[in-house]
Structure 1
């Protein structure tokens, strides 16, 4: 007999094969979605190695059940996509972390004539925030709302201009982490040159305004983490050969966050490379340097420098194997009241491997393993940790 933990996966697959009618397929507009996942992490709450576990425990297992509707249809030159998914996750040991997840999306890809096109959309997601920089057994749900609108005018066969606006709002359930609640408004203006080769060269100007409604306590003081950030970057998509593509968005960034003193500026951006020779292998690599928010009770953002490599093996028409390795070094900006600013840094290493089996276009089964470790920062009071995890998921669309 099947292990009781794996039985729901088998039941989902059997019901998926039996329930899909002959007319249902990936090209239909409306789909009913269902999925189930099992996972285990031997250091779920990212407890430093030199500290005891909460209630003498570090690891935990969980089950996630998910269901919803997916709608995707084109009307002439307009495409409407709607997603409504609800999930429930239950943990074996840390039951106070049990939560209901949400994933709601609405997107409209529009086109007017032969020269105007764009996208308008909104989304809502609710998940359990990671515990990488949040040391607690308290449940900390993160709710993110995003709304965006963008439009592109191709005024010449070789030139186009694009403008866009996006608002992202993040709220956290845990009172001890509410200082990371924020709203970020980003406005972009881009001019692109489109040569006949299919490559793209553009210049992007971007302004971001971040507002934090709750001041962050630091000792006897409180600080507001609101900021403005201005970027001027070059965007390049270079089809180097038939098998090599280079995507880059690099340039200059200036971040002004008054509670940290003077403005911080410098080079920032990301470069992605993809190499897909003839055969069953695809290779990817990335390097980046950029500012990023952090879900911490001590600081609000970091300057991250990182690199990643990955590979995908199309073993068969139905089986794919993915492997990725990521290294990121995080440098924290210190307020004047902090001491030991020269040690305000750490690094995170992550390695993952996934095997995906897609027996039918509407059914997918995936198994994955991951290893993560962090070097700590003595000044911030964060220790080094290691974590090993595995997941097994199955989902189907009807």
Structure 2
């Protein structure tokens, strides 16, 4: 097994605090001309957050822990105010030079896009994951491994609790990792998913079984480019609504290109079911493509931009969240331009402008939103 990375003592503890001021001209993601509660749809938002992290190497064992807290406040629509708490505990373990693996627990809390929730309520998704995995390196470059994950997602609002989600995910894998640092793995994963607060009926099911076969990895193509991600085949079956079953190719591939020390480009394409960063754990097929160029003007100034196209197909969904804008699908286009400046090493300042535009097959699902943001972060 390749040697573990060394970690300096100065990196053991880290504390940071950040403050974000944001203006959103369409908080509720309503259609043009709609005035929520008879008011202008825009509002000012304040995000105050703190994070503490621990990272330490003990011989061949590495321990990590983190905790983060955030307070999100709205100036006019204060019924949307919320707090989040997240964190991680992780042990990268090793026994001798042939056995290694990971034991971890993490929690994240995120507010779902109000365009997906509908009405005047907000919905906070709490996701928890417990994982254990191990690999046996029977050759310096080859290993066989297995793992299991217990994942849950719960929604804070009562109207969405029928979409609370639990899954047990065992997997097997064969990994090739030469001394160059590249890596390729053949992974087989089975998911037993349930919706504990839902009863099966003619419109929704109470669970599913999913099988994934994937080829994943990261590979340095040239001195200036790298390809990472996975490609595979997914099959999802429902115990009652078999007409909602899905089978087809899925994947996520990211290409990183750094032609010079100052310029970089990242491009990502993906086709996934219920990806976590979509914040939608039901059966939603997402196709997306994004490109993110960046320019390091100097050692302390960075300019970044992102453009993303994302299409979601709800037609196979066995139980959409109440109030969802469309039962068929939507397309969202996102454009962001940002500037980051670090006047001193511990302090990071940022400003960005973003534009979101969604078109939907539903009558009221489309919207346009513009968001401006100022941020400051200090690391102790």
Which residue number in structure 2 is paired with residue 20 of structure 1? none
Q: Could you say which residue in structure 1 is the equivalent of 2:284?
A: 302
Instruction: Output one character per residue of 1:293-340: Cα deviation in whole Å (capped at 9) or x when no partner.
Output: 6767xx9321111211111211111222221111111122347999xx
Please name the residue that 2:77 is paired with. 94
**What's the TM-score once normalised by structure 2's chain length?**
0.87
1:231 matched to which residue of 2?
A: 212
Is the 8 Å Cα contact of residues 194 and 201 (structure 1) preserved in structure 2? yes
2:366 corresponds to: 384
Alignment-derived partner of residue 143 in structure 2: 160
Q: Per-residue displacement from partner, 1:338-384 (whole Å, max 9, x unpaired)?
A: 9xxxx822211111222222333332222222111111123xx5421
The RMSD of aligned alpha carbons is: 2.7
Where in structure 2 are the equivalents of 1:1-398 lying within 5 Å? 27-49=10-32, 51-195=34-178, 197-215=180-198, 223-262=204-243, 263-292=245-274, 300-334=282-316, 344-378=328-362, 381-398=363-380
- 1:197 Cα deviation from its structure 2 partner: 4.7
| Number of residues of Structure 1 aligned to a counterpart in Structure 2 | 365
- Give, in whole Å, the separation in 2 of the partners of 1:171 and 1:337: 15
TM-score (norm 1): 0.84
Task: State whether residues 26 and 361 of structure 1, in contact with CA within 8 Å, keep that contact through their aligned partners in structure 2.
Answer: no
Unaligned runs of 5+ in 1: 1-24
Q: Report how far residue 59 of structure 1 moved.
A: 1.2
CA distance in 2 between partners of 1:335 and 1:275 (Å): 36
Is the CA contact 1:225–1:300 (under 8 Å) kept in the aligned structure 2?
no
Distance 1:76 1:359 in 2: 37
User: Structure 1 377/56 Cα, relative in aligned 2: closer, same or farther at 3 Å?
Assistant: same
State the alpha-carbon separation in 2 of the partners of residues 114 and 259 from structure 1: 48
* Contact kept? 1:26, 1:362, Cα under 8 Å: no
| Mapped partners of 1:162, 1:281: distance in 2 | 38
Structure-2 change in CA distance of 1:133 and 1:284 (3 Å): same
